[in-house]
Amino acid sequence: MLLCVLGGYTAFSAGPFLWVAIMSLRTTSEISASHYGLPSPAHWQQYVTAWTVSNYRTYFWNSCAVVVAAVALTTVIGAMAAHALARYRFRGNRAILFLIFSTIIFPAQITLLALFQILVKYELFNTLTGLTLVYVATQLPLTIYILEAFFARTPQDLFDAAKIDGSSELASFWRLTLPIGRPAIATAVIVNFILLWNEFLYAVVLITDEDKRTLPLGVQKFMGDRMQDIGMIATGVMIAVLPVVVLYALFSKQLIQGMTAGAVK
């Protein structure tokens, strides 16, 4: 009985993916004839068409460029700040951490319009560079939060010993904090990657050119322009989802840790 309910919930939760995955292998005319049919034969050609003709290739590489650059920058900047906040006692230490972390609850609109003005002013509006910088700022609080919590748990003795051995402070960041903090850094990288890969609000405001669209924006605009082309939309959706699914399959533990950081305290 309970298993029936759980099975039903699983169908509710996973069913939509199965449906879209099946549709992505069928042509729109096949889908119109029967919306719940199986792909026979499977049209892998759909993916080639989406990639080359429907411009998903451009969206995919834009997403990759923005997300990889933003995650790299966030990780470096965040790790430096987290190290400083976790290792050194100074006035205002906790205040800085609180100030940065509290921005997590801010509605995006409180910065969105002003960011638009700022990017226009510095000619970064409608550029991937501008979007990348904004993404760094949006992910920095969570990154610092995850890393600071982990770095603070590294025993201070290790750092004292390194100091006595004549290691410089930069070297202790490089040789101790970073290698020891690898699990936390991996968590932060993966969760930032997924959140930015899926990001839509900043992209829709800050990007207007077709050839600069990221995947979520590209998929949404494609849907708006060609509402009826269900097969091709489904294929585009799969292109947007597959990298996330692969990451989830490989790093499910870190992903769940990162996504739920901050909620469990």
Partner 1 sequence: MIGTLLTPALFVYAGFTAYPVGRTFYNSVHLIKPGGVEQFVGLQNYAQLLSSDLTFWRAVVNTMIWAGVAPLLDVGCGLALALCLYAGVPFARFFRVAWFTPVLISYVVVGILWMWIYNYDWGVVNALLRAVGLGVLARSWLGNTSTALAALILTHLWKWAGFNMVVCLAALHALPSEVMEAAELDNCGWVRKTIFMILPMIRGTLIGLLILSFVGKMKVFDLVWVMTEGGPLWATETVSTYVYKRAFGWQTFDLGYPSALATVWFLVVLAFVLGLHGLLRQREPLEY
Using CB under 8 A as the binding rule, whether residue 90 contacts partner 1 is answered as yes
Q: Which of 66, 142, 216, 231 binds partner 1 (CB under 8 A)?
A: 216
Q: How far is the CB of 53 from partner 1 (least distance, A)?
A: 20
**CB-CB neighbours of 221 under 10 Å:** 15
Q: How far is the CB of 38 from partner 1 (least distance, A)?
A: 16
| Measured CA distances, 21 to 37, 57, 109, 234 (Å) | 12, 19, 34, 7
Identify which of 203, 186, 188 has the alpha carbon closest to the alpha carbon of residue 66: 203
Question: Where does this chain touch partner 1 (CB under 8 A) — which range of 39-47, 150-158, 179-187, 234-242?
Answer: 234-242
DSSP 93-144: HHHHHHHHHHGGGS-THHHHHHHHHHHHHTT-TTSHHHHHHHHHHHHHHHHH
Q: Which of 69, 70, 136, 146 binds partner 1 (CB under 8 A)?
A: 136
Using CB under 8 A as the binding rule, whether residue 25 contacts partner 1 is answered as no
Q: How far is the CB of 157 from partner 1 (least distance, A)?
A: 19
Using CB under 8 A as the binding rule, whether residue 162 contacts partner 1 is answered as no
Q: Which of 42, 48, 114, 246 binds partner 1 (CB under 8 A)?
A: 114
Question: Where does this chain touch partner 1 (CB under 8 A) — which range of 41-49, 154-162, 180-188, 192-200?
Answer: 192-200
Using CB under 8 A as the binding rule, whether residue 29 contacts partner 1 is answered as no
SS3 state at 264: strand
Residue 63: partners with Cβ closer than 8 Å, 6 or more residues away: 197, 214, 215, 216
Please, which of residues 44-73 interact with partner 1 by CB under 8 A? Answer: none
